[in-house]
Protein backbone atom coordinates (compact mmCIF):
# COMPACT_ATOMS: atom_id res chain seq x y z
CA UNK A 1 0.00 0.00 0.00
CA UNK A 2 2.78 2.42 0.94
CA UNK A 3 4.69 1.66 -2.25
CA UNK A 4 1.53 2.40 -4.25
CA UNK A 5 1.09 5.75 -2.49
CA UNK A 6 4.76 6.54 -3.00
CA UNK A 7 4.48 5.85 -6.73
CA UNK A 8 1.33 7.91 -7.28
CA UNK A 9 1.50 10.60 -4.59
CA UNK A 10 1.19 14.25 -5.71
CA UNK A 11 4.92 14.91 -5.37
CA UNK A 12 4.66 18.60 -6.19
CA UNK A 13 2.35 19.00 -3.16
CA UNK A 14 3.93 16.62 -0.64
CA UNK A 15 7.40 17.86 -1.56
CA UNK A 16 6.34 21.47 -1.06
CA UNK A 17 4.89 20.64 2.37
CA UNK A 18 8.16 18.97 3.36
CA UNK A 19 10.14 21.96 2.08
CA UNK A 20 7.98 24.34 4.12
CA UNK A 21 8.34 22.20 7.26
CA UNK A 22 12.12 22.27 6.99
CA UNK A 23 12.01 26.04 6.40
CA UNK A 24 10.21 26.57 9.71
CA UNK A 25 13.08 25.13 11.72
CA UNK A 26 16.01 26.31 9.62
CA UNK A 27 18.80 28.46 11.00
CA UNK A 28 20.01 31.84 9.80
CA UNK A 29 23.71 31.12 9.40
CA UNK A 30 25.94 29.29 6.95
CA UNK A 31 26.22 25.51 7.26
CA UNK A 32 29.23 23.49 6.16
CA UNK A 33 29.33 19.74 5.48
CA UNK A 34 32.83 18.30 5.12
CA UNK A 35 33.28 15.46 2.68
CA UNK A 36 34.69 12.44 4.56
CA UNK A 37 35.82 10.97 1.21
CA UNK A 38 37.93 14.00 0.29
CA UNK A 39 41.45 13.28 -0.96
CA UNK A 40 43.70 16.33 -1.52
CA UNK A 41 46.18 16.45 -4.38
CA UNK A 42 49.34 18.43 -5.02
CA UNK A 43 47.59 20.35 -7.78
CA UNK A 44 44.59 21.15 -5.64
CA UNK A 45 45.20 20.54 -1.92
CA UNK A 46 42.04 22.37 -0.85
CA UNK A 47 39.81 20.48 -3.27
CA UNK A 48 36.71 21.83 -4.97
CA UNK A 49 33.99 23.29 -2.74
CA UNK A 50 30.28 23.23 -3.52
CA UNK A 51 28.32 26.42 -2.70
CA UNK A 52 24.53 26.24 -2.49
CA UNK A 53 22.41 29.37 -2.93
CA UNK A 54 18.73 29.35 -1.94
CA UNK A 55 15.91 31.31 -3.54
CA UNK A 56 13.69 34.24 -2.59
CA UNK A 57 12.28 34.09 0.96
CA UNK A 58 13.95 30.72 1.49
CA UNK A 59 16.64 29.59 3.94
CA UNK A 60 19.68 27.30 4.01
CA UNK A 61 17.29 24.39 4.66
CA UNK A 62 16.45 24.47 0.93
CA UNK A 63 19.62 22.47 0.29
CA UNK A 64 19.78 20.43 3.52
CA UNK A 65 18.43 17.21 2.03
CA UNK A 66 20.60 17.55 -1.07
CA UNK A 67 23.72 18.16 1.03
CA UNK A 68 23.14 15.17 3.31
CA UNK A 69 22.38 12.87 0.42
CA UNK A 70 25.30 14.04 -1.71
CA UNK A 71 27.73 13.20 1.10
CA UNK A 72 26.83 9.53 0.82
CA UNK A 73 28.86 9.16 -2.36
CA UNK A 74 30.59 12.45 -3.08
CA UNK A 75 33.59 12.69 -5.38
CA UNK A 76 36.93 12.64 -3.49
CA UNK A 77 37.88 15.80 -5.41
CA UNK A 78 35.25 17.77 -3.48
CA UNK A 79 36.20 19.06 -0.05
CA UNK A 80 32.95 20.41 1.39
CA UNK A 81 29.40 21.59 0.76
CA UNK A 82 28.51 25.11 1.90
CA UNK A 83 24.89 26.16 2.45
CA UNK A 84 24.90 29.95 2.22
CA UNK A 85 22.91 32.40 4.31
CA UNK A 86 22.72 36.06 3.32
CA UNK A 87 22.45 39.36 5.16
CA UNK A 88 20.44 42.54 4.46
CA UNK A 89 17.62 40.56 2.82
CA UNK A 90 14.92 42.74 4.40
CA UNK A 91 16.39 45.76 2.62
CA UNK A 92 15.37 44.30 -0.73
CA UNK A 93 18.90 44.08 -2.13
CA UNK A 94 19.63 43.07 -5.71
CA UNK A 95 21.07 39.92 -7.28
CA UNK A 96 24.46 41.61 -7.65
CA UNK A 97 24.56 42.17 -3.88
CA UNK A 98 23.85 38.50 -3.18
CA UNK A 99 26.57 37.52 -5.65
CA UNK A 100 29.04 39.83 -3.89
CA UNK A 101 28.22 38.19 -0.55
CA UNK A 102 28.76 34.79 -2.17
CA UNK A 103 32.17 35.93 -3.37
CA UNK A 104 33.09 37.17 0.11
CA UNK A 105 32.24 33.78 1.58
CA UNK A 106 34.46 31.96 -0.91
CA UNK A 107 37.36 34.30 -0.29
CA UNK A 108 36.95 34.05 3.49
CA UNK A 109 36.99 30.24 3.22
CA UNK A 110 40.01 30.26 0.94
CA UNK A 111 38.19 28.40 -1.83
CA UNK A 112 39.64 28.94 -5.30
CA UNK A 113 37.80 26.08 -7.05
CA UNK A 114 34.03 25.80 -6.78
CA UNK A 115 30.81 24.33 -8.06
CA UNK A 116 27.71 26.47 -7.51
CA UNK A 117 24.18 25.15 -7.04
CA UNK A 118 21.36 27.67 -7.12
CA UNK A 119 17.62 27.20 -6.69
CA UNK A 120 15.15 29.72 -8.15
CA UNK A 121 16.61 33.22 -7.60
CA UNK A 122 19.69 31.48 -6.20
CA UNK A 123 20.41 30.20 -9.70
CA UNK A 124 20.51 33.78 -10.97
CA UNK A 125 22.90 34.69 -8.16
CA UNK A 126 25.10 31.72 -9.07
CA UNK A 127 25.11 32.56 -12.77
CA UNK A 128 25.81 36.25 -12.18
CA UNK A 129 28.74 35.42 -9.91
CA UNK A 130 30.14 32.89 -12.38
CA UNK A 131 30.12 35.18 -15.42
CA UNK A 132 30.88 38.52 -13.74
CA UNK A 133 32.85 38.09 -10.51
CA UNK A 134 34.62 34.74 -10.39
CA UNK A 135 37.51 35.47 -12.79
CA UNK A 136 38.23 38.83 -11.16
CA UNK A 137 38.49 37.08 -7.77
CA UNK A 138 40.72 34.30 -9.21
CA UNK A 139 38.06 31.71 -8.46
CA UNK A 140 37.59 28.87 -10.93
CA UNK A 141 33.99 27.79 -11.43
CA UNK A 142 33.90 24.15 -12.48
CA UNK A 143 30.18 24.16 -13.17
CA UNK A 144 26.93 25.97 -12.40
CA UNK A 145 23.78 23.98 -11.58
CA UNK A 146 20.67 26.08 -12.08
CA UNK A 147 17.57 24.53 -10.48
CA UNK A 148 14.18 25.95 -11.53
CA UNK A 149 15.73 29.40 -11.98
CA UNK A 150 13.88 32.15 -13.91
CA UNK A 151 16.63 32.91 -16.45
CA UNK A 152 13.88 34.11 -18.80
CA UNK A 153 11.96 35.89 -16.06
CA UNK A 154 9.01 35.09 -13.84
CA UNK A 155 5.42 36.18 -14.44
CA UNK A 156 4.90 36.53 -10.68
CA UNK A 157 7.60 39.20 -10.33
CA UNK A 158 4.99 41.93 -10.04
CA UNK A 159 4.15 44.95 -7.87
CA UNK A 160 3.98 45.50 -4.98
CA UNK A 161 6.76 42.97 -4.25
CA UNK A 162 8.86 44.18 -7.18
CA UNK A 163 8.69 47.71 -5.72
CA UNK A 164 10.10 46.50 -2.41
CA UNK A 165 12.73 44.03 -3.65
CA UNK A 166 15.39 44.83 -6.24
CA UNK A 167 16.02 41.15 -6.90
CA UNK A 168 12.33 40.50 -7.61
CA UNK A 169 12.28 43.56 -9.91
CA UNK A 170 15.26 42.09 -11.78
CA UNK A 171 13.36 38.82 -12.28
CA UNK A 172 10.61 40.45 -14.36
CA UNK A 173 10.12 38.88 -17.77
CA UNK A 174 12.45 40.54 -20.28
CA UNK A 175 14.08 42.76 -17.66
CA UNK A 176 17.29 44.47 -18.74
CA UNK A 177 19.18 42.58 -16.05
CA UNK A 178 18.09 39.18 -17.39
CA UNK A 179 18.72 40.18 -21.01
CA UNK A 180 22.29 41.17 -20.15
CA UNK A 181 22.78 38.04 -18.06
CA UNK A 182 21.65 35.74 -20.86
CA UNK A 183 24.03 37.40 -23.30
CA UNK A 184 26.88 36.95 -20.83
CA UNK A 185 26.04 33.25 -20.45
CA UNK A 186 25.98 32.79 -24.23
CA UNK A 187 29.46 34.31 -24.47
CA UNK A 188 30.83 32.26 -21.56
CA UNK A 189 32.83 29.04 -21.83
CA UNK A 190 31.63 27.83 -18.43
CA UNK A 191 29.54 24.68 -17.97
CA UNK A 192 25.86 25.28 -17.18
CA UNK A 193 23.50 22.45 -16.19
CA UNK A 194 19.80 23.34 -16.02
CA UNK A 195 17.09 21.53 -14.06
CA UNK A 196 13.38 22.19 -14.55
CA UNK A 197 10.23 20.94 -12.80
CA UNK A 198 7.42 19.67 -15.03
CA UNK A 199 4.68 21.04 -12.74
CA UNK A 200 6.37 24.31 -11.81
CA UNK A 201 3.66 26.95 -11.34
CA UNK A 202 6.16 29.72 -10.64
CA UNK A 203 8.80 29.43 -13.37
CA UNK A 204 7.89 28.15 -16.83
CA UNK A 205 10.00 25.48 -18.48
CA UNK A 206 11.08 27.85 -21.25
CA UNK A 207 12.49 30.30 -18.69
CA UNK A 208 14.74 27.79 -16.92
CA UNK A 209 17.53 27.36 -19.46
CA UNK A 210 19.63 29.12 -22.09
CA UNK A 211 19.84 27.01 -25.20
CA UNK A 212 23.02 28.63 -26.55
CA UNK A 213 25.08 27.51 -23.55
CA UNK A 214 23.60 24.28 -22.25
CA UNK A 215 25.87 21.49 -21.07
CA UNK A 216 22.76 19.60 -20.00
CA UNK A 217 19.03 20.23 -19.60
CA UNK A 218 16.90 17.94 -17.43
CA UNK A 219 13.16 18.09 -16.77
CA UNK A 220 11.98 16.25 -13.66
CA UNK A 221 8.49 14.84 -14.10
CA UNK A 222 5.70 15.38 -11.55
CA UNK A 223 7.76 17.85 -9.53
CA UNK A 224 6.97 21.46 -8.70
CA UNK A 225 9.07 24.51 -7.87
CA UNK A 226 9.77 23.44 -4.27
CA UNK A 227 9.41 19.67 -4.40
CA UNK A 228 12.23 19.43 -6.94
CA UNK A 229 14.65 20.05 -4.06
CA UNK A 230 13.76 16.69 -2.48
CA UNK A 231 13.95 14.71 -5.72
CA UNK A 232 16.15 11.60 -5.77
CA UNK A 233 16.39 11.97 -9.54
CA UNK A 234 17.87 15.43 -9.04
CA UNK A 235 20.39 13.89 -6.66
CA UNK A 236 21.33 11.19 -9.19
CA UNK A 237 21.92 13.80 -11.88
CA UNK A 238 23.98 15.97 -9.53
CA UNK A 239 26.21 12.98 -8.76
CA UNK A 240 26.48 12.20 -12.47
CA UNK A 241 27.60 15.67 -13.53
CA UNK A 242 29.79 16.35 -10.49
CA UNK A 243 31.68 13.13 -11.27
CA UNK A 244 31.80 13.94 -14.97
CA UNK A 245 33.15 17.46 -14.47
CA UNK A 246 35.83 16.29 -12.01
CA UNK A 247 36.86 13.23 -14.02
CA UNK A 248 39.77 15.14 -15.59
CA UNK A 249 41.49 15.36 -12.23
CA UNK A 250 44.27 12.78 -11.95
CA UNK A 251 46.28 11.41 -9.07
CA UNK A 252 49.31 13.55 -8.36
CA UNK A 253 52.81 12.26 -7.74
CA UNK A 254 54.43 12.98 -4.37
CA UNK A 255 58.19 13.40 -4.10
CA UNK A 256 59.97 11.73 -1.20
CA UNK A 257 63.29 12.71 0.38
CA UNK A 258 65.26 10.69 -2.19
CA UNK A 259 63.61 12.53 -5.11
CA UNK A 260 61.77 9.37 -6.07
CA UNK A 261 58.30 9.74 -7.50
CA UNK A 262 55.56 7.90 -5.63
CA UNK A 263 52.07 7.66 -7.09
CA UNK A 264 49.33 7.80 -4.48
CA UNK A 265 47.41 4.59 -4.99
CA UNK A 266 43.70 4.10 -4.60
CA UNK A 267 42.95 2.04 -1.51
CA UNK A 268 39.86 0.82 0.26
CA UNK A 269 37.98 3.73 1.88
CA UNK A 270 37.99 4.21 5.63
CA UNK A 271 35.51 1.99 7.53
CA UNK A 272 34.42 5.15 9.33
CA UNK A 273 32.86 6.69 6.21
CA UNK A 274 29.76 4.51 6.36
CA UNK A 275 28.94 5.04 10.07
CA UNK A 276 29.80 8.75 9.63
CA UNK A 277 27.14 9.05 6.92
CA UNK A 278 24.61 6.94 8.83
CA UNK A 279 24.93 9.13 11.92
CA UNK A 280 24.86 12.30 9.82
CA UNK A 281 21.62 11.24 8.14
CA UNK A 282 20.08 10.25 11.49
CA UNK A 283 20.96 13.68 12.94
CA UNK A 284 19.21 15.33 9.99
CA UNK A 285 16.12 13.19 10.56
CA UNK A 286 16.12 13.97 14.30
CA UNK A 287 16.22 17.69 13.54
CA UNK A 288 13.25 17.34 11.22
CA UNK A 289 11.10 15.69 13.88
CA UNK A 290 8.91 17.97 15.97
CA UNK A 291 7.68 16.87 19.35
CA UNK A 292 7.49 18.22 22.88
CA UNK A 293 10.78 16.75 24.04
CA UNK A 294 13.29 17.87 21.43
CA UNK A 295 16.49 15.90 21.88
CA UNK A 296 18.81 18.91 21.59
CA UNK A 297 21.44 17.45 23.92
CA UNK A 298 21.46 14.09 22.15
CA UNK A 299 21.77 15.79 18.77
CA UNK A 300 24.75 17.77 20.08
CA UNK A 301 26.49 14.59 21.30
CA UNK A 302 25.78 12.75 18.05
CA UNK A 303 27.28 15.68 16.14
CA UNK A 304 30.39 15.41 18.33
CA UNK A 305 30.58 11.69 17.59
CA UNK A 306 30.23 12.29 13.86
CA UNK A 307 32.93 14.97 13.94
CA UNK A 308 35.27 12.69 15.90
CA UNK A 309 35.05 10.19 13.02
CA UNK A 310 36.16 12.94 10.66
CA UNK A 311 39.06 13.83 12.97
CA UNK A 312 40.22 10.22 13.01
CA UNK A 313 39.95 9.92 9.23
CA UNK A 314 42.06 13.07 8.91
CA UNK A 315 44.54 11.68 11.46
CA UNK A 316 43.91 14.43 13.99
CA UNK A 317 42.90 11.96 16.71
CA UNK A 318 46.10 10.48 18.09
CA UNK A 319 44.95 8.30 21.00
CA UNK A 320 42.05 5.87 20.76
CA UNK A 321 41.62 3.39 23.61
CA UNK A 322 39.17 1.00 21.94
CA UNK A 323 39.72 -1.62 19.29
CA UNK A 324 36.63 -1.63 17.11
CA UNK A 325 34.35 1.01 15.59
CA UNK A 326 31.39 -0.39 17.54
CA UNK A 327 33.23 -0.16 20.87
CA UNK A 328 34.39 3.34 20.04
CA UNK A 329 30.79 4.46 19.47
CA UNK A 330 29.64 2.78 22.70
CA UNK A 331 32.40 4.29 24.85
CA UNK A 332 32.00 7.74 23.27
CA UNK A 333 28.28 7.81 24.14
CA UNK A 334 28.97 6.64 27.69
CA UNK A 335 31.74 9.20 28.18
CA UNK A 336 29.47 12.03 27.02
CA UNK A 337 26.51 10.89 29.17
CA UNK A 338 24.30 10.42 26.13
CA UNK A 339 21.41 8.83 28.05
CA UNK A 340 21.28 11.38 30.89
CA UNK A 341 17.96 13.19 31.24
CA UNK A 342 17.60 16.83 30.23
CA UNK A 343 17.90 19.58 32.85
CA UNK A 344 14.83 21.45 34.05
CA UNK A 345 15.76 24.53 32.00
CA UNK A 346 15.99 22.40 28.86
CA UNK A 347 12.58 20.90 29.62
CA UNK A 348 11.04 24.38 29.88
CA UNK A 349 12.65 25.43 26.61
CA UNK A 350 11.51 22.29 24.84
CA UNK A 351 7.94 22.79 26.01
CA UNK A 352 7.74 25.81 23.68
CA UNK A 353 7.48 23.39 20.78
CA UNK A 354 4.26 21.87 22.11
CA UNK A 355 2.11 23.27 19.32
CA UNK A 356 4.24 21.57 16.69
CA UNK A 357 3.96 18.26 18.50
CA UNK A 358 0.33 18.09 17.33
CA UNK A 359 1.67 17.40 13.85
CA UNK A 360 4.32 14.89 14.86
CA UNK A 361 4.86 11.49 13.32
CA UNK A 362 6.21 8.52 15.23
CA UNK A 363 9.28 9.58 17.21
CA UNK A 364 12.57 8.19 15.96
CA UNK A 365 13.98 5.50 18.24
CA UNK A 366 17.56 6.68 18.74
CA UNK A 367 18.37 3.87 21.20
CA UNK A 368 17.38 1.23 18.65
CA UNK A 369 19.38 2.99 15.92
CA UNK A 370 22.52 3.19 18.07
CA UNK A 371 22.22 -0.42 19.26
CA UNK A 372 22.05 -1.55 15.62
CA UNK A 373 24.99 0.69 14.73
CA UNK A 374 27.17 -0.66 17.57
CA UNK A 375 26.28 -4.24 16.69
CA UNK A 376 26.92 -3.66 12.99
CA UNK A 377 30.46 -2.34 13.55
CA UNK A 378 31.45 -4.33 16.65
CA UNK A 379 33.98 -6.41 14.70
CA UNK A 380 35.34 -3.66 12.41
CA UNK A 381 38.82 -2.58 13.56
CA UNK A 382 39.03 1.16 14.14
CA UNK A 383 42.62 1.22 12.91
CA UNK A 384 41.80 -0.31 9.56
CA UNK A 385 41.33 3.33 8.62
CA UNK A 386 42.99 4.05 5.29
CA UNK A 387 46.05 5.43 7.05
CA UNK A 388 48.22 5.55 3.95
CA UNK A 389 45.83 7.78 2.03
CA UNK A 390 45.23 9.91 5.13
CA UNK A 391 48.95 10.33 5.80
CA UNK A 392 49.63 11.15 2.15
CA UNK A 393 46.93 13.81 2.41
CA UNK A 394 48.71 15.34 5.39
CA UNK A 395 52.05 15.25 3.57
CA UNK A 396 50.45 17.07 0.63
CA UNK A 397 49.00 19.75 2.91
CA UNK A 398 52.38 20.22 4.63
CA UNK A 399 54.17 20.56 1.31
CA UNK A 400 51.77 23.26 0.17
CA UNK A 401 52.10 25.39 3.34
For residues 113-142, average pLDDT:
97
What is the pLDDT at residue 315?
Answer: 59
Is the pLDDT at 149 greater than 80? The verdict is yes
CATH 3.40.50.1820 segments of the chain: 2-246
Is the pLDDT at 54 greater than 50? The verdict is yes
Strand partners, 78: 48
For residue 29, what pLDDT band results from cuts at 50, 70 and 90? confident
Whole-number average pLDDT of the chain? 79
For residues 368-380, average pLDDT:
84
| Coil/strand/helix, residue 32 | strand
For residues 298-327, average pLDDT:
73
What is the pLDDT at residue 2?
Answer: 39
For residues 366-379, average pLDDT:
83
- Top pLDDT among 279 and 130 is at 130
| Coil/strand/helix, residue 243 | helix
CA 322 to chain centre: 32
- Top pLDDT among 285 and 382 is at 382
Residue 233, CA distances (Å) to 66, 159, 198, 239 in order: 11, 35, 13, 10
Residue 333, phi then psi, degrees to nearest 5: -65, -40
End-to-end Cα spacing for the chain: 58
What is the pLDDT at residue 79?
Answer: 94
| C-alpha closest to that of 115 among 241, 249, 228, 210 | 241
The neighbour count for residue 176, using CB atoms within 10 Å, is: 9
pTM of the complete model: 0.66
Is the pLDDT at 50 greater than 80? The verdict is yes
Task: State which H helix or E strand residue 108 sits in.
Answer: helix 95-109
| 241-265 per-position pLDDT tens digit | 999 999 876 444 444 444 333 333 4
Residue 39, phi then psi, degrees to nearest 5: -125, 110
| Coil/strand/helix, residue 312 | helix
| Coil/strand/helix, residue 294 | coil
Class of domain 2-246: alpha beta
What is the pLDDT at residue 364?
Answer: 52
Amino acid sequence: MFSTFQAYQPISVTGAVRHAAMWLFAGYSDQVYKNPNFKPTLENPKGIAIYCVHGTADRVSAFSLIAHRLLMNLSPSISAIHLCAFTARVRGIGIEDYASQLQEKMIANGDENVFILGHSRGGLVAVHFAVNLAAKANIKVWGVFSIASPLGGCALALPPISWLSSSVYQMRIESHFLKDLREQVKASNLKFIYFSAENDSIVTLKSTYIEENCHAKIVLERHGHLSIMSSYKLLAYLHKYLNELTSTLTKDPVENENDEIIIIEDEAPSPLIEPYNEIDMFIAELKMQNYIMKETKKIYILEKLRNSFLDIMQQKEQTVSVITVGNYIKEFLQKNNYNDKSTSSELIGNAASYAFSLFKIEKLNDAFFLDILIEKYKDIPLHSVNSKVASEGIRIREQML
